[in-house]
């Protein structure tokens, strides 16, 4: 199935209009088109229309299918320093911010014209880079329109990204200056010594009737059901997916579950863990969504290892970015985990990410999870 379609206007703007798919299995989305979609999207929407105007549908407490699917416009990409940036534009969104384990809704305001989103990645390995902050400065004809630090976000269509609603000042050409801070996670392997400094890139975008006509939405009959829409395919822009468990280095010990998050736990022997430890084995926990393997950064976690009722290790897990393990949480172990050991994973602070619809009920009350090796 071809899930990518690019429509080009006279201004050269690319509209990413994608056929959504549902993720309704234990790990990845299925490769079947989502059934039950209402016949056609509205041909034209005001960008201040709320695509989630209907109440959040009743459904499971974890991840559920959002109530709508939208088309986005990608004005362009740019490179600065170690980073590559992509800017995307959509209709304004209602979303939820998170403070510790409490969420607060951010409603669409009358002045909001667009939902601007940015993805930042390493152009060498195509790894999306979380654990940083990003600010946006929007200008028109050299004059400042608005600026702010925007939210680290999680959505079903984009996974981890940066985004917020913004007002504009009528039709015209705008410049978005995207400034990313250095990555706060520990970097290892080929990433060691990189992403410590910030960078700024500029991307121009048009705001016009042509662009607004491309920002369509359609309602989904599966809204509220268990599952998730498949993330978008965006050409050269990578998806923020965690590795398949079978692709993780070392020995996968098992997968814990905590408030719908999957915590895939692996151990690297000392001989293979030189970039992480000083001659010790390494415990790594890859946190991802239950559908589509989208990474879950920005949380605080710890682990303990029990053997025959006695604790042989207990300590924090450090957020780490590695080319092979991806974004994960890791710790050096005093000795290898043995068969039959119980590895208990604890989340002290859940992912401090704003949530789009479909994720606001999950990854908040994260209790401990135990994996038996």
Contact (Cβ atoms closer than 8 angstroms) between residue 337 and residue 252: no
**216 CA to centre of own chain:** 22
pLDDT at 56: 56
Instruction: Give, for all 373 residues of the chain, the pLDDT tens digit.
Output: 222 222 222 233 445 543 334 443 334 443 223 334 343 333 333 333 444 444 555 566 899 999 999 999 999 999 999 999 999 999 999 999 999 999 999 999 999 999 999 999 999 999 999 999 999 999 999 999 999 999 999 999 999 999 999 999 999 999 999 999 999 999 999 999 999 999 999 999 999 999 999 999 999 999 999 999 999 998 899 999 999 999 999 999 999 999 999 999 999 999 999 999 999 999 999 999 999 999 999 999 999 999 999 999 999 999 999 999 999 999 999 999 999 999 999 999 999 999 999 999 999 999 999 999 9
Residue-level pLDDT at 240:
96
Q: Which strand (E) or helix (H) includes residue 68? A: strand 68-70
Distance CA 162, CA 140 (A): 21
Look at the block and give the residue holding tokens 């809204």.
223
DSSP β-ladder status, 282-288 and 261-268: antiparallel
Query: Distance between CA 86 and CA 178 in Å, rounded?
Result: 9
Cα separation, 279 vs 274, whole angstroms: 6
Q: What is residue 322's three-state secondary structure?
A: strand
For residue 16, the model assigns a pLDDT of: 52
User: Would you state the pLDDT for residue 41?
Assistant: 37
Q: What is the pLDDT of residue 61?
A: 81
Residue 95, strand partner residues: 106
What the chain holds in terms of domains, given with CATH numbers, is 6-229 (2.60.40.2480), 245-372 (2.60.40.2480)
């Amino acid at each position: 199935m071809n899930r990518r379609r690019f429509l080009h206007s006279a201004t050269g703007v690319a509209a990413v209009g994608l056929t959504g798919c549902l993720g309704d299995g234990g790990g990845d989305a299925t490769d079947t088109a989502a059934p039950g979609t209402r016949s056609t999207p509205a041909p034209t929407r005001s960008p201040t229309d709320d695509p989630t105007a209907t109440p959040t549908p009743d459904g499971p407490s974890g991840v559920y299918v959002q109530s709508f699917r939208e088309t986005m416009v990608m004005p362009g990409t740019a490179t600065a320093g170690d980073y590559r940036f992509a800017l995307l534009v959509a209709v304004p969104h209602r979303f939820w911010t998170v403070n510790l384990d409490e969420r607060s809704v951010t409603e669409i305001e009358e002045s909001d014209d667009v939902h601007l989103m940015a993805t930042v990645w390493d152009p060498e390995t195509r790894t999306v880079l979380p654990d940083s902050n990003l600010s946006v400065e929007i200008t028109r004809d050299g004059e400042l329109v608005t600026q702010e630090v925007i939210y680290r976000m999680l959505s079903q269509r984009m996974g981890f990204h940066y985004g917020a609603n913004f007002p504009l000042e009528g039709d015209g050409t705008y410049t978005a200056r995207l400034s990313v801070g250095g990555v706060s996670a520990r970097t290892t392997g080929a990433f060691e010594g990189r992403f410590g400094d910030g960078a700024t890139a500029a991307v121009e975008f048009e705001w016009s009737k042509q662009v607004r006509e491309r920002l369509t939405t359609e309602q989904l009959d599966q809204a509220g059901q268990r599952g998730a829409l498949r993330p978008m395919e965006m050409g050269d822009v990578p998806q923020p997916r965690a590795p398949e468990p079978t692709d993780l280095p070392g020995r996968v010990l098992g997968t814990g579950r905590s408030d719908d998050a999957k915590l895939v736990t692996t151990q690297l022997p000392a001989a293979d863990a030189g970039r992480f430890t000083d001659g010790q084995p390494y415990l790594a926990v890859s946190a991802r969504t239950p559908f589509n393997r989208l990474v879950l950064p920005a949380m605080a976690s710890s682990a303990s290892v029990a053997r025959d009722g006695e604790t042989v290790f207990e300590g924090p897990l450090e957020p780490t970015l590695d080319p092979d393990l991806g974004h994960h949480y890791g710790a050096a172990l005093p000795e290898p985990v043995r068969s039959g050991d119980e590895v208990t994973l604890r989340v002290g602070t859940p992912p401090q990410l704003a949530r789009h619809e479909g994720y606001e009920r999950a990854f908040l009350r994260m209790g401990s999870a135990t994996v038996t090796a």
